Chains A and B, each alone.
Chain A
Amino acid sequence: MNWSVITQNLPLFFTGVRMTLTISFLALLVSIPIGVIAGLFRVSRFRLLRVVSAVYVEFFRGVPLLVLLIWIFFVLGRFLRLGPYWSAILGLGVFSGAFVAEIVRSGIQSVPRGQMEAARASGMTYLQAMTYVILPQAVRKVLPPMASQFIILVKDSSLVSVISIVDLSMVAKNLVATTFRSVEIWTFVAVLYFCITYGLSQLIAFCERKFHMDH
């Protein structure tokens, strides 16, 4: 074992980490609004909205991320002049959004029916009841599955190297190709991914505790 390959290339690894974090974070920012809206559509009274949401969720859950990224980059990305960077963010975002939508839906449906009924009976509109009664309760229920989903998102982001994004795993691949120190490099990269996801889960655990303290 020779760990000097790591110490000598630390800056390179950190550019990789930065790219992984940036892409994951921006994809997260895409997936949350999409997921919340799709989740709300899924429980809507309007059939059309339910259908639109169901099609979205089923489609993106059913297509492998690798295939999706390549398709977005080569087909949609070319058409919309997106480039690899925005193709990666869009691909990861809409992919993850489908899972977020399911989490949001199950969170909303976990709130007892009587809550919506009590709110509507007091004269609130559907939107008011959602905003002040249902969603605040759903948020508490969705935090743990949401945390898992974001950790999956960070790990899934390692696939963006197929569309030539130089993220952490791409840095590793390139370094291995020139130095042949695959054991050291992949071990270190695994540790880095773990640090990122562990940090993320700690952050979310902190948010959860904060929510429960407010309770």
Chain B
Amino acid sequence: MNSTMPPTVSQPMVSIRNVRKKFGDLEVLKNVSIEVPKSQVFGFIGPSGAGKSTIVRTVNALEGIDGGEIWVGGVSVHGPSTDLNRLRANIGFVSQSFNLYPHLKVLENVALAPIKVKRQPPSQAREYAASILKTLGLEDKMDAFPTRLSGGQQQRVAIARALAMEPRLMIFDEPTSALDPELIKEVLDAIRGLLATGITMLLVTHEMNFAREICDSIVFMAEGEILETGAPEQFFSHPQTQRARDFLSAILNR
């Protein structure tokens, strides 16, 4: 190796440090810390009400925090002078309820933010939007209104809409929880397809097999705390805490 090469500073993509969050009197996040290196996929699992949604939503400031700090790509998310719109433009967010814009056709759903936020020329934005939709197998749906699509198709459009901004980080909050079982696979395939791009991902999910397959690390949360973090093999084969063992046996014996 060439010794004159500058040392690579490997700054994490997401750095969550001692984050605390309350909803009224309820402590939803109690001193949560996680480092997510670039190009890694972190799976967040745990029982309902654990704070999984809340923690990933603080990463793009859809929720505020009451303590600690969060850094994304070297930017302090909750810092006083942060340009949140600019930060969010680099973070794709896909939630359980697709939230497509019902008054716009599929192609316009995907091209809207690139045109308005990134100020791309509309023709260029639409062209890129069409190419993403094509990769996700939606080329024949571009002129349809979202309500005409199946849940799986809608969620893939939502993924395309997030990808159109060329984000450096993708956040998925239970992307398949609102879907009928037979539609889950197409959405998981779409997410799996992103692995090759090397994009960093935070994935909240109840799909244990999928998490085990694609995640570099699993974060197990309960009652606002991280109880375990580790490689998927280790977590699923040898959970360290009783809480995780109970959770896994409950969910796997469903």
Contact of A122 with B97 in the complex, beta carbons under 8 Å:
no
Selecting from B112-120, B122-130, B196-204, the interface stretch reads B112-120
Other-chain contact of A136, B99, B103, B117 (Cβ < 8 Å): B103
Scan residues 28-73 of chain B and give those whose CB is less than 8 A from a CB of chain A.
Answer: 60, 62
Return chain B residues, CB-CB under 8 Å to A114. Answer: 95, 97, 99
Q: Does A133 contact B (CB under 8 A)?
A: yes
**Minimum CB–CB distance for B61 against chain A, Å:** 9
Contact A137 B117, beta carbon cutoff 8 Å: no
In the bound complex, do residue B85 and residue A123 qualify as a contact, i.e. CB atoms below 8 Å apart? yes
Contact segment of B18-26, B86-94, B246-254: B86-94
Q: Are A215 and B88 in contact (CB under 8 A)?
A: no
Q: Is B79 an interface residue (CB 8 A)?
A: no
Q: Are A118 and B103 in contact (CB under 8 A)?
A: no
Chain A residues near B101 (CB, 8 Å)? 115, 118-119, 133, 137
> Are B99 and A117 within 8 A (Cβ)?
yes
Partner of A123, one of B95, B97, B100, B113: B113
Q: Does B160 contact A (CB under 8 A)?
A: no
Contact between B103 and A122, CB atoms less than 8 A apart: no
Which of A112, A118, A124 touches B117 (beta carbons < 8 Å)?
A: A124
In contact, B62 and A128 (Cβ under 8 angstroms): no
Q: Which of A121, A125, A128, A137 meets B93, CB within 8 Å? A: A121
B113 touches A215 (CB 8 A): no
| A123:B89 contact, CB within 8 angstroms | yes
Neighbour of A122 across the interface among B95, B117, B145, CB < 8 A = B117
A140 CA to B118 CA, complexed, in Å: 28
Residues of B in contact (CB 8 Å), total 27
A121 to B161, CA, bound (A): 11
Closest to A129 in B: B116
Bound-complex Cα distance A119 to B162 (A): 11
- Is there a chain B Cβ closer than 8 Å to A120's Cβ? yes
Interface: B165 (CB within 8 A): yes
Asked if B193 CB lies within 8 Å of chain A CBs, one says no
Residues of A within 8 A of B137 (CB): none
A128 B99 Cβ-Cβ under 8 A: no
Residues of A within 8 A of B102 (CB): 137
Interchain nearest-CB distance for B228 vs A (Å): 29
Decide: A123 and B99 in contact? CB cutoff 8 A: no
Chain B residues, CB < 8 A from A128? 116-117
CA distance A140 to B116 in the complex (A): 22
Is B88 in contact with A121, judged by CB distance below 8 angstroms?
A: yes
Q: Does A132 contact B (CB under 8 A)?
A: yes
- Distance in angstroms from A214 CB to nearest chain B CB is 9
Contact A121 B117 (CB under 8 A): no
Q: Contact check, B161 vs A122: say whether CB atoms are below 8 A apart.
A: yes
Which of A121, A124, A133 has the most CB atoms of chain B within a 10 A radius of its CB?
A121
CB nearest neighbor in A for B86: A123
Complex Cα gap A136–B165 (Å): 22
Contact A124 B103 (CB under 8 A): no
Residues of B within 8 A of A123 (CB): 85-90, 113, 117-118, 165
Q: What are 6 A-B pairs with beta-carbon distances under 8 A? A: A115-B99, A120-B62, A120-B88, A121-B91, A122-B117, A123-B118
9 further contact pairs, Cβ within 8 A, besides A115-B99, A123-B88: A119-B101, A122-B89, A123-B89, A124-B117, A125-B85, A128-B117, A132-B112, A137-B101, A137-B103
Residues of B participating in the A interface, judged by any CB pair closer than 8 Å: 60, 62, 85-91, 93, 95, 97, 99-103, 112-113, 116-118, 145, 158, 161-162, 165
